[in-house]
Structure 1
């Protein structure tokens, strides 16, 4: 398979809502595994043994004292028109992106709990009943903190959903009728907005026997005026960021993960730390960066406020304008100036 695993610029037609025949056409034939797309091998028995001896999945009790200081400032969604781009952080990797007149949700998780993880430590930043009509959903991969069945059940089944290769069947089994699955570097258009699926340094697994059976990645959203938002999903640091920047120049805003990185020897290959996230923003050529994937669920061992402190220091260290780091509180919003 050629590098990238897809054809640059492929355009995918959307299935018609309510068409059973269209449902069948959207389920494409894929390899049995995408393990050849892994940047690094998944942990083996030796790594698991080390983790059992010394690993930690939660911050130490001393670090939990900062939980009340986690930034949470819910507010109304910005008023937008079809030429305005605005983002609102609902928490973790869930964003409300207003682009090209569409309302797009990224990795929507409105549940209080996800499997295997303590309850969220900050409430959802946008009440579900405060959302406008959702025009599309993009999903980065199938891990439970990014693909949440209870949240998705709240959506009308004709909501357009864009998913990685191998994941459409999960949605069609739940009676979603407008599902398009894409390989890396493939794209689809909806309402004048281009959705391109791009690589990430990560993996996939949801059950006991489905490791790497579906793909993982991020999304580049481009409106009719060429304004671009890059949603990285869940990813470690690596070579794909430069490639994304080369293929999609002029990214106005990069939504990048900065949390769930300790212990580093265990998570380095699949989760950026704050300094790597800033490097990634530079690699893709983003004018602005908005951190995510921190301060919502306690997934790893770093102190709860450390990601925010470190990303601010890293942004300053590379000489970028402080105003271009959109370190939003959960529930916060920003609007791109045209």
Structure 2
């Protein structure tokens, strides 16, 4: 039997009564009478007198409602643990959004070797712009939405625009060199790769399999973020799809700490320039394709994506993608 866990003393005392005949039924009744904010995070209909027990011989179409998945449950489970505290979003710096012990060690080594220097704005929030909304409100795209963008740009793939066969072969050869002989599924586990590596450097874990037409999650994340940004022509400046992709990767990395229950799912999302282009086309943005095959957008430099999240290659001096 799965027992409910909680930091509430009253619920902890009620759990001591489980397995003692009538006492167990009374304790369950007490749990069901608590207000919603004090309900245990794990609730099963078979142990709630206010719900109909689940019949193990029920038809396959009879699927119970899923358990609530909110951060408030984590706070009840772990109390005031610093790992699950919800700080004020207005005070979070770029570092607090993507920070982890593993990434801190990596940046410390690069800084000690004088390979990179992080500005003060990396550790302090100097922006009044709000953060992008959580991925919990993500709306998935349909494959037909992606196919429309591909139909409009026949040379578009997940890495951007490629018009020559030689460049396609060169890129595939580069991917083969980074894959080595390891199993990609093993590389994606936390034993072999940290979250920041998987999210910020997905090219190191790319197998070259699949296509843009099936990258539903990546395109959906790109649309989710870009639709919260304003488009405005900046003087003598525009942002490329590759640059915007780096900011969106930082956003995705921030979601791993904001919603740790979805960590394994978010780690599987690979974000590349092609996904940004699909999102921009889906949102009706003006897309400027130059002779160098680079795609640029008139994105407002004051939007939260550019001011609250880090573009790590901006701080790259030597050897960041080693």
TM range (shorter): under 0.3
Task: Give the structure with the higher percent helix.
Answer: 2
Task: With a CA cutoff of 8 Å and minimum separation of 6, indicate the structure with the bigger relative contact order.
Answer: 1
Q: TM-score, normalised by structure 1?
A: 0.23
